[in-house]
Amino acid sequence: MNVSIIKIGGNVIDFPEKLDEFLYLFSRFPGKKILIHGGGVLASKFGESLGVMPEMVDGRRITDKDTLDIVTMVYAGLINKQIVAKLQALKQNALGMTGADGNLIRSVKRPVKNIDYGFVGDIQEVNTDLLQTLLDADIIPVVCAITHDKKGQLLNTNADGIASEIATNLSKKFKVNLYFCFNKAGVLIDEKNENSIVPLINEEIYEELKKENVIHSGMIPKLDNAFAALQKGVNHVWIGKAENLLLASKGKLSGTTIERHKYDLY
């Protein structure tokens, strides 16, 4: 069985028209699939309206108790259920989930080192049997960025990391492709020029582009997750714009692609 893991972020979620367009494309995406989503910008807006100001370090959210309540309400409630309802309207039988549901994703609270991230989870275990049961029943899991520690504590967890961990764990049983949809056409040489896409990338090129500061900020953890997934058995990773998802599913060069069997081409 082939399985596609597709992750979307705020660049799609924060705009109702873009979300509707993406979910239509997602409904036409072939084969078994799992949708992973975040929603950080919307969570920040809700927090600010309640007097809880977001605190970020290196692009990662510091999650105190009040912030955890807000991201849980926004990710697991508002966003997740809106997506599921819209998919049902597109005749896609979807099931919205946190990592706590069905013990899908168990995490541990990130240990305090130089920074105390608060109630942030580092993933320890993924319930692939549950995912296989849902996929076999033609149910699409829609997983938000909340996990649990199996001791009663919910944890805010990076959505890119969730997508990567689900992909790598499922790759032990199936052929898995991982798609990261974000606001750029792919990995760019010039972030202001959407035509400067790096169509194929390997670790050597990645390290060189980081040294030259071509790749920086939020793209670094995204690519780190992509390479980690490939090293652990994922077949194929794609990074690009959500509107190009169907082109990517057909193998057309519409973003940046990383494939294990292409490493030796460089």
Q: Which residue reads 């049997």 in tokens?
A: 129
Q: Is 218 annotated as a binding residue?
A: no
For residue 24, the Cα-to-chain-centroid distance in whole angstroms is: 18
Q: Is 96 annotated as a binding residue?
A: no
Packing angle of the helix pair 80-89, 16-28 (nearest 10 deg)? 50
For residue 223, the SS3 value is helix
Packing angle of the helix pair 219-231, 159-170 (nearest 10 deg)? 10
- Mention every residue, 6+ apart, whose C-beta is less than 8 A from residue 228: 164, 168
Q: Is 158 annotated as a binding residue?
A: no
Q: Is 40 annotated as a binding residue?
A: yes
Q: H helices within 9-64, ranges in order?
A: 10-13, 16-28, 40-49
Query: What is the distance between the alpha carbons of residues 52 and 46, in angstroms, rounded to a whole number?
Result: 8
Name the token pair of 9.
Answer: 């972020």
Q: Which residue reads 């105390």 in tokens?
A: 116
Residues that constitute the known binding site? 39-40, 61, 156
Annotated binding residues for substrate, written as ranges, equal 39-40, 61, 156
